Amino acid sequence: MVRTIVTPDKENISIHIPEAYIGKQIEVLLYAVDEVKEIEKLKKKPSDFRGTLNLTDQQYQDFQQHVIDSRNEWERDI
């Protein structure tokens, strides 16, 4: 595998293909590194969502009861 980062100074660039890759399918990706870094900043972890529902105590209890009821439905014979 060959991986490199270049900063082009014009619209066209050429790449050298290693002899071992001749006759094989290769994948060429073109993207700006800063765009990838921007996308990575937008990714969230599950812990980022902690507390986002802002439920009252009653709403929380209702939600928990709904979860319990939903789980119990799977335990019944049909």
Distance CA 64, CA 58 (A): 10
Q: What's the first-to-final CA gap in the chain, in angstroms?
A: 55
**pLDDT the model gives residue 78:** 65
Distance CA 59, CA 40 (A): 34
5's CB contacts (< 8 A; 6+ apart) are 33
User: Tens of pLDDT along 19-56?
Assistant: 999 999 999 888 888 877 766 677 777 887 777 788 88
What global pTM score does this model have?
0.41
